[in-house]
């Protein structure tokens, strides 16, 4: 099993992962739209999409954004987004492996913190993140901008 940067040919597998309940609930982008978005993402200097690959399948994915910062004496911060593991591979250490990968990249970028958000209903996910050393911190606020 290896973690690597996502490539265009991975998109259909990534979209299938996103279709899980709790992510996009069985709905996903068409491949042409996904390819156009992926091409735009390639121009974001500090945003990367990663996949976890076994010998024959992509079984997990996450995104990492490292943000430069004028506050905190110019120390960057990082955000993990869109963490997903194929249901048949959950509980086998893939999420832990992805988070260790994200933490390593954030440390190498000298980030002062690594953040993520998780739906309030996902108590098992909260316990997982806490087991990795993440702490509940403050409040998360959200405003939906699209119906």
Whether 144 maps to a domain, the answer reads no
Whether 137 maps to a domain, the answer reads no
Whether 57 maps to a domain, the answer reads yes
Q: What is the CATH number of the domain that holds 70?
A: 3.40.630.30
CA-nearest of 28, 101, 30 to 60 is: 101
Helix (H, G, I), strand (E, B) or coil at 54: coil
User: In the chain, how many domains are there?
Assistant: 1
Q: In degrees, to the nearest 5, what angle opens at C-alpha 136 toward C-alphas 97 and 123?
A: 70
**Going residue by residue through the chain (147 aa), what tens digit of pLDDT does each one get?**
899 999 999 999 999 999 987 777 778 899 999 999 999 999 999 999 999 999 889 999 999 999 999 999 999 999 999 999 999 999 999 999 999 999 999 999 999 999 988 777 787 888 888 888 888 888 788 888 987
- Count Cβ atoms below 10 Å from residue 118 Cβ, excluding itself: 16
- Model's pTM, two decimal places? 0.90
pLDDT at 146 (0 to 100): 83
Environment class of 109 (CB within 10 Å of its CB; exposed 0-12, middle 13-18, buried 19+): middle
Whether 39 maps to a domain, the answer reads yes
Whether 118 maps to a domain, the answer reads yes
d(CA 72, CA 33): 37
Whether 141 maps to a domain, the answer reads no
Distance in angstroms between the alpha carbons of the first and the last residue of the chain: 38
pLDDT at 68 (0 to 100): 95
Q: Which domain holds residue 118?
A: 2-131
């Amino acid at each position: 099993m290896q973690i690597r940067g996502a490539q265009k040919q991975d998109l259909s597998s990534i979209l299938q992962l996103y279709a899980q309940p709790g992510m996009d609930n069985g709905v996903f982008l068409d491949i042409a739209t996904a390819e156009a978005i992926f091409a735009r993402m390639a121009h974001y200097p500090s945003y990367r999409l990663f996949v976890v690959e076994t010998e024959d399948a992509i079984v997990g994915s996450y995104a990492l954004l490292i943000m430069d910062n004028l506050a905190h004496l110019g120390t960057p911060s990082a955000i993990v987004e869109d963490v997903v593991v194929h249901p048949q591979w959950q509980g086998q250490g893939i999420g832990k492996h992805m988070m260790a990968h994200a933490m390593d990249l954030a440390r190498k970028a000298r980030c002062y913190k690594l953040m993520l958000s998780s739906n309030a209903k996902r108590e098992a996910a909260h316990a997982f993140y806490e087991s990795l050393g993440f702490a509940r911190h403050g409040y998360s606020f959200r405003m939906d901008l699209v119906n």
